[in-house]
Structures are given as C-alpha cells and as structure tokens.
Chain A
Amino acid sequence: DQQVKQNSPSLSVQEGRISILNCDYTNSMFDYFLWYKKYPAEGPTFLISISSIKDKNEDGRFTVFLNKSAKHLSLHIVPSQPGDSAVYFCAASAPNFGNEKLTFGTGTRLTIIP
C-alpha cells in the first residue's frame, strides 16, 4: 500500500535549466508534505516543506507546489546546479495525536548535466 508515489525513478536536466520533480499521494488525511535530498552514503537531508493550507512554498532556488484536488505535489529547482545531483524523496504526514510519522516515496534520482 504505497501512499506516496514518485513515478519517475530518474531525471536528467541541463545545468541552469529548471528541474521539476513530481510526487503523488493517495491518503487525503496527509496535511504536511516534505522534500528530502540524499547523497550516496549519507542520510536524507530536509529541503523544504508545505502544509495543506498553502499551495506554494519557496526557499531560494527551491519551490514546492501543492495541488490538493489532484493529490499531487512538485518540487521546482531553478536554476539547477551540479550539486543538485542527488536522490530526492517526497514525504507526507497525517495528524495522529502525537504519533505522527513521515511516509516516504521511493525517490527520484536527479542528474544535472554540466
């Protein structure tokens, strides 16, 4: 029962262009969504989050868009840089009286081509 899905296992983008990573979810109780970045042999690093009361959140080169009706979110990276090459995980959380957890997708490997 995969509640968070990242259907593109990999994506290649030219340096300087926009990278768009997509994520779909099925659980309508999710009210927080997060993006993590992971380099090989390291743990995931938190990038940006959005709550379900917003449809956009921006932090520097990173913007997350949320479309609740479509149960879809995306991460935009502009402009893409070589250091952005990593695996990106989408995660989501539902309220649960202090027992909240993050449910992750399987990740998208982003490669930035110099």
Chain B
Amino acid sequence: DTAVSQTPKYLVTQMGNDKSIKCEQNLGHDTMYWYKQDSKKFLKIMFSYNNKELIINETVPNRFSPKSPDKAHLNLHINSLELGDSAVYFCASSQEPGTGRDYGYTFGSGTRLTVV
C-alpha cells in the first residue's frame, strides 16, 4: 500500500529518445514535487504542483515537461534525452506547500534514469 509510487523504477534509454516517468500518491495531499538527484548526490527541486497548478519551476530545460492530470498524479515527460539527464528522479508530496516544511515530504522510491 505504497503512499507515493513511481514507475518505472529503472529506465535505460538512448540519447535523443523521449520518455515519461509516472508518479501517483494516495495520501490525499494537495502538493506534489519532482526532485533530481545527480551524480554528486545533490537532491534538487525541479517542479512543484499544488492542486494541479504549477507553483515552482526551477530553471529546468524545457525538454522537461511535468503534467498533473489530477492532484494525485504528477508525471514527468522528458524530450530529446541527453547524457546529462542520467540521474535518480524522485517524486514527493506534502499536504500543502507550507506543511512540507514542518512535517516533511513523503518521497517515492525513485526512478533511476540512464541515458546511453
């Protein structure tokens, strides 16, 4: 009964391809996030959605396009994949944007993307 689930867990693809990562949360939270953990282990925010509306977009190349069909889902589509996109991508959720600061985010288990 996973609270935040991401699929797929592993993704290996060639440069130039387009791929999507899906995220779903069953916690009833209003806010969802995408974080990227690069090879230096930095966990850096990419996007945040509150109730299907984009509220944070952190200087991410426009090859990355998040989509939130409803507040329980936040998918990440990546066009024209590059070698530098190889990383672990984490989805997370919080009750509201502010509550994550006190009660923390609930993270999914991550999607390891390898671009070859």
Interface residues of A (CB under 8 A from B): 2, 31-32, 34, 36, 41-47, 49, 51, 89, 91, 93, 98-104, 106-107
Give CA–CA (A91, B100) in the complex, Å.
Answer: 11
Nearest CB of chain A from residue B32's CB, rounded to whole Å? 12
Is B104 in contact with A98, judged by CB distance below 8 angstroms? no
- Which residue of chain A is the closest to B4 with respect to CB atoms? A43
- Supposing A41-B110, A43-B110 touch, asked if A49 and B42 sit within 8 A by C-beta, the answer is no
Asked if A98 contacts B97 (CB within 8 A), the reply is yes
26 contacts between A and B (CB under 8 A): A2-B42, A32-B101, A32-B102, A34-B101, A34-B104, A42-B109, A42-B110, A43-B90, A43-B92, A44-B90, A44-B107, A46-B106, A49-B102, A49-B103, A49-B104, A93-B100, A98-B50, A98-B55, A99-B55, A99-B97, A100-B98, A100-B101, A104-B42, A104-B43, A106-B42, A107-B41
For A45, the closest partner residue in chain B by CB is B107
Residues of B within 8 A of A (CB): 4, 33, 35, 40-45, 48, 50, 55-56, 58, 90, 92, 97-98, 100-110
The winner among A34, A45, A49, A100 for most chain B CB atoms within 10 A is A100
Flag if B108 contacts A102 (CB, 8 Å). no
Asked if residues A98 and B106 are in contact (CB atoms below 8 Å), the reply is no
Contact, CB under 8 Å: B56 / A46: no
Q: Which residues of B contact A107 (CB under 8 A)?
A: 41
Residue numbers in B under 8 Å from A41 (CB-CB):
109-110
Are A101 and B56 also in contact (CB < 8 A) when A32-B101, A49-B102 are?
A: yes
A46 & B43 in contact (Cβ 8 Å cutoff): no
